[in-house]
A and B are shown apart, each in its own frame.
Chain A
Amino acid sequence: MARMKFLCDAERCIECNACVVACNNEHEVPWGINRRHVVTMKDGEQGEKSVSVACMHCTDAPCAAVCPVDCFYTTDDGIVLHDKDICIGCGYCFYACPFGAPQYPEQQAFGVRGKMDKCTFCAGGPGEDNSAEEFEKYGKNRIAEGKLPLCAEMCATKALLGGDGDEIADIYRQRVMKRGGRPQTWGWETAYKEGES
């Protein structure tokens, strides 16, 4: 069984925001909500590095652990999904998440927090796959169509990899062997309890 993961190769990420736009386009994510962010460190200085960050679909996901209404579930291949009908928008998962992934569209007046929204690894949510209802709430279900997350598939430099953890680690390892230097699997330790495997 595959274990789905994301890996962002900071040596290749050029902060072009293709991943952010691909996601917004594919899932028609509303303005103001970004399921994915590109984060730049040492912006404008020697050593500048960028990585693309979204829900990492953690092992023993902390969001699931803190959810007071238990709206999270994890697929056999490790994708962390949630049910917006149960979600009460309390925001606990945002504070639990080490990656700042959960987002909350403001709904109606007084800035009331809406249902939590986050990266689904392009795997939708509960309900019939690629139904109008699933799309409305969670966006496209590419995985059900045999495709992988669009952010990774459209990445400008193939910096962002998304798919079976062993295979993307292989792709990454080969690259590192070729170019030398130390492997840096950003966020893997936190998300998957492992560094470079």
Chain B
Amino acid sequence: MAQLIRRAGAVLTVTLLLGGCYESPDVTLHEPGEYKGPDDPFLEKAADPEHQEQLQQRLARGQTDR
């Protein structure tokens, strides 16, 4: 499970991203936490190469100008 959860380690990036958006720079920075919810069986399916291939074909069929 742990490897599925992206650790938002780049605190600096987050700061930069958000910094431009708001007037007040008065913020407290925290480390991101670990996902607390139940498993999503979709994650296993998404990793299946066959499924990936299917999505690729779908993209070519539906979103190109043909």
Contacts and interface: CB of A to CB of B under 8 A. Distances in A.
Task: State yes or no: do A and B touch (Cβ within 8 Å).
Answer: yes
B62 interface: yes
Nearest to A128: B41
Nearest to A123: B42
Contact of A2 (B21, B43, B55): B55
A64 B43 contact: no
B4 to A, nearest CB: 6
A144 B58 CA distance: 13
Interface of A: 1-2, 60-62, 64-65, 67, 69-77, 79, 81-83, 85-86, 95-96, 98, 123-129, 141, 143-144, 146-148, 152-153, 155, 158, 161-164, 167-168, 171, 190, 193
B13 to A, nearest CB: 6
A10 B63 CA distance: 16
Contact of B51 (A65, A146, A148): A146
Contact of A148 (B6, B36, B37, B58): B58
Contact of B5 (A73, A125, A158): A73
Contacts, number: 132
Given A167-B59, A171-B64, A144 B42 contact: yes
Contacts of A71: 35-37
B17 A146 contact: no
Nearest to A189: B17
Nearest to B57: A146
A19 B37 CA distance: 30
A76 B4 contact: yes
Contacts of A1: 47, 52
Nearest to A78: B6
Interface in B19-56: 21-22, 30, 32-43, 45-47, 51-52, 54-56
Given A60-B14, A62-B14, A146-B58, 14 more contacts: A60-B8, A67-B32, A71-B36, A73-B6, A73-B35, A74-B4, A98-B18, A125-B40, A126-B38, A127-B40, A146-B51, A148-B55, A158-B64, A164-B56
Nearest to A74: B6
Contacts of B17: 62, 98, 190
Given A71-B37, A77-B46, A144-B45, A98 B5 contact: no
